[in-house]
Amino acid sequence: MKFARTTISFLLAAATAASAHAEPAKTREQVRAERLEAIRTGDVYANGDIGLKLNELYPQRYPQPAATASKSRDEVRAEFREAVRNGEIVAAGEGGQILREEFPQRYPAVAVAAGKSRAQVRAETLEAIRTGDIVAAGEGGTRLNEEFPQRYAKRSLYAAGAVSTAAAASAVAR
């Protein structure tokens, strides 16, 4: 009973989310057919916190999807020859480097797009520090200006330039 309730809840939520987009509305019979097909193929989430679908949790119980069209033998060989020619094959050993990285003199140089100068990177970093737009320490992943808005509110008022000095001072005094 709990499984059926959970399954129906998920399908109703999916149907509601799908109807919120610009897709045409489905009839009751279409939704029922989709639900039955999802149950038949195991394409519904299993109970609990595992986060797997039934066909992932119990693959032996459900039919396997049809194999997709693959590349021909000649296409695979051509891709392999191209990778060898460009040095994109993993070198032997424990390093895990590709041949181009291990022996750069053997392969033509790869054109690298021009990056930012040291001065530009430094200016961006200082600006991020000043505005608190850097990730705070810890596991939260929040930015400093989100974690401590009171520290960066004064600076944003002055940096905006739209607020006069007197107005900014009165805003800070509050």
Per-residue CA distances from 84 to 20, 51, 99, 105 (Å)? 49, 40, 9, 15
Q: Per-residue pLDDT tens for 71-91?
A: 899 999 999 999 999 889 998
What's the confidence (pLDDT) of residue 29? 93
Query: In the structure, what pLDDT confidence band is assigned to residue 51 with cuts at 50, 70 and 90?
Result: confident
On the question of pLDDT at 67 being above 70, the answer is: yes
All structural domains of the chain with their residue ranges: 2-61, 73-106, 118-173
Percent with pLDDT over 70 in the chain: 74
Residues whose CB falls within 8 Å of the CB of residue 135, separated by 6 or more in sequence, listed in order: 141, 142, 143, 144
Structure tokens at 49: 């916190």
What type of residue is 27?
A: T
User: What one-character-per-residue DSSP string does 55-103 give?
Assistant: HHH-GGGSPPPPPPP---HHHHHHHHHHHHHHT-SBPSSSS--BHHHH-
The distance in angstroms from the start CA to the end CA of the chain is 58
Query: In the structure, what pLDDT confidence band is assigned to residue 124 with cuts at 50, 70 and 90?
Result: very high
What's the confidence (pLDDT) of residue 46? 86
Structure tokens at 170: 């009165």
Q: What is the mean pLDDT of the chain?
A: 80
Q: Are 62 and 42 in contact (CB under 8 A)?
A: yes
Is the pLDDT higher at 140 or at 62? 62
What's the confidence (pLDDT) of residue 107? 87
Is the pLDDT higher at 7 or at 128? 128
Write the DSSP symbol of residue 133: -
Q: Are 128 and 134 in contact (CB under 8 A)?
A: yes
